[in-house]
């Protein structure tokens, strides 16, 4: 019988209050038992390390993108395989891992019916790993507006975007993508460094460079409604490494796997082909 330790973060956006009990019931139904550690207070990383220190065969992590990022990073390439269950608001990482599946119980049952362990890549910038994407530039502050749009609060979304100076044409970045032996430089108002590929991991580098304030507003709200890839005035390169520089020497607003942060004026992105081991739900047939 496999030894399973489960980390549950009830403070995440969509983990139920009785999450530990609900998880225990489903695991029992599947013929598994687990030592379940519920995060109460303090540091998520410390609690996760307690779970990993038990040397489980599998680590179940139930929480939002931030919690799963911590779990994959703490476990690393030599630690226990991680089965991530969606418990946040956006759940971007979970959707990428589990082929678009979004229900925690559905994912758990599918993954544990016949567990298959596979390697998972990451990117790294300023010592911080990411498993989905990093967005840079003022458009990254659209995350607040994005949630308001999802709730149908369009006026509030526009107000939030204006408050965060999202549509500021003065913020200029240079994205230098390493493509084979070449370096491709692109000026941009904002950009995204997206992990892509599984057997052969890579970065897809999206540079957003509208010609006018009106175009920038259009791109901003297309990205709100449809995602960055579907917006116009976006060019995409495939790269093995990226350097992002603010040409004014200012700190760079960013989000790392959905978590807002600030990066230095010049930062390097590197690819880690095998950063962790994961257990995934099967694709929906």
Kindly indicate the confidence band of residue 141, based on its pLDDT and cuts at 50, 70 and 90. Answer: low
Where does the chain show beta strands of DSSP type E? 4-8, 34-38, 58-63, 82-86, 117-125, 128-130, 133-136, 173-179, 182-188, 190-196, 202-208, 234-239, 241-246, 252-256, 259-263, 266-279
Q: How many domains does the chain contain in total?
A: 2
In this structure, the answer to whether residues 168 and 78 fall within a common structural domain is no
Assess contact for 43 and 239: CB atoms under 8 A. no
Same domain, yes or no: 28 and 112: yes
**Is 41 inside any structural domain?**
yes
User: Model pTM?
Assistant: 0.82
Same domain, 114 and 165: no
Q: Which residues pair with 270 in a beta bridge?
A: 124, 241
Residues 72 and 137 in one domain: no
pLDDT at position 251: 94
Query: CB-side exposure of 194: number of CA atoms within 13 Å?
Result: 17
142 compared with 185, residue with greater pLDDT: 185
Q: Are residues 210 and 236 in the same domain?
A: yes
Determine the pLDDT at residue 210. 61
Of the candidates 237, 234, 217, 192, the residue with the CA atom closest to the CA atom of residue 92:
192
Tokens of 13: 């956006």
Domain of 70 in residue numbering reads as 4-122
| pLDDT of 42 higher than 70 | yes
The answer to the question of residue 127 being in a domain is no
With cut-offs at 50, 70 and 90, classify the pLDDT of residue 130: very high
């Amino acid at each position: 019988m496999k030894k399973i330790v489960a980390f549950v973060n009830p403070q995440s956006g969509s983990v139920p209050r009785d999450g530990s009990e609900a998880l225990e019931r489903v695991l029992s139904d599947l013929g598994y038992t687990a030592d379940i550690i519920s995060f109460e207070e303090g540091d998520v990383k410390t609690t996760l390390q307690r779970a990993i220190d038990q040397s489980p065969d599998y680590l179940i992590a139930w929480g939002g993108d931030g919690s799963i990022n911590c779990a994959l990073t703490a476990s690393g390439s030599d630690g226990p395989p991680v089965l991530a269950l969606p418990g946040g608001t956006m759940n971007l990482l979970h959707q990428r891992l589990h082929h678009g599946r979004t229900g925690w119980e559905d994912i758990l049952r599918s993954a544990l019916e016949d567990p298959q362990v596979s390697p998972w890549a990451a990117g790294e910038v300023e010592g911080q790993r990411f498993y989905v994407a990093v967005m840079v530039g003022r458009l990254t502050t659209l995350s607040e507006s994005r949630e308001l749009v999802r709730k149908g609060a369009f006026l509030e979304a526009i107000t939030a975007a204006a408050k965060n100076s999202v549509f500021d044409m003065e913020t200029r970045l240079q994205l230098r993508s390493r493509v084979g032996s070449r370096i491709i430089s692109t000026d941009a108002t904002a950009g995204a460094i997206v992990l892509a590929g599984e057997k052969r991991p890579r970065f897809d580098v999206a540079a957003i460079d509208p010609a006018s304030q009106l175009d920038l507003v259009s791109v901003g709200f297309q990205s709100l409604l449809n995602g960055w890839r579907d917006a116009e005035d976006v060019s995409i390169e495939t790269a093995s490494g990226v350097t992002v520089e603010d040409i004014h020497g200012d700190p760079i607003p960013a989000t790392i796997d959905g978590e807002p942060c600030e990066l230095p004026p010049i930062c390097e992105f590197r690819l880690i082909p095998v950063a962790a081991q994961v257990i995934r739900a099967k694709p929906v047939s």
